[in-house]
A and B are shown apart, each in its own frame.
Chain A
């Protein structure tokens, strides 16, 4: 059974770059034609999709964050990563990674537990 686990610094200074990694266990990130997504949730608020990557390396980003976001994949480590530059307090949130299965329906079926990132000096 595939599991996802986010990791990275819990505190980032304003204007710096937030870097998170999602480690996939229980299966290969390269198999099954999945997309791998990042979603965030500020405390007490709703969910915001950040972007996704296919194992070929092709990416899609939320236009509201596109200028600051980079998602990459490292198949040798079975991981994919998120970088968000020039962060402000508005980027403080719980960050989730999630798997999107192939097919005609579009949804995320496996989620990591989430990691809290606070932007503060």
Chain B
């Protein structure tokens, strides 16, 4: 099983600042198979990024993804108030087919 480890567990920033979230895989993951989701309290996850760097439909361009192999990054260039949420990375490939990171909580400082 490929384990995804997200860091930091909690990130405290202010609106307007830049956020950098990390997702590290225990084995190499194809960039095609790495996605990021945003989840707000009481809501379902929302797809942000797929294929490591492609933004999903309707996602603002302040969200960007990068990385390859075992290290992937989600960057939010200038935080808006609505961006404070929990973020999950997800990989597809080995058994089980899908695994998720444990999440990074982005909170207002």
Contacts and interface: CB of A to CB of B under 8 A. Distances in A.
Contact of B99 (A37, A49, A96, A98): A49
B96 A49 contact: yes
A111 B40 CA distance: 13
A47 B103 CA distance: 9
Interface in A91-121: 96, 98, 104-109, 111-114
Interface residues of B, number: 26
B96 A63 contact: yes
A116 to B, nearest CB: 10
Contacts of B35: 105-108
Main secondary structure of the interface of A (DSSP, over half): loop
Most chain A C-beta atoms within 10 Å of own C-beta, residue among B97, B102, B103: B97
Interface string B83-98: 0000010101101111
Contacts of B92: 106-107
A52 B95 CA distance: 13
Contacts of A62: 96-97
Contact of B95 (A63, A106, A112): A63
A60 B93 CA distance: 12
A96 to B, nearest CB: 6
Nearest to B43: A113
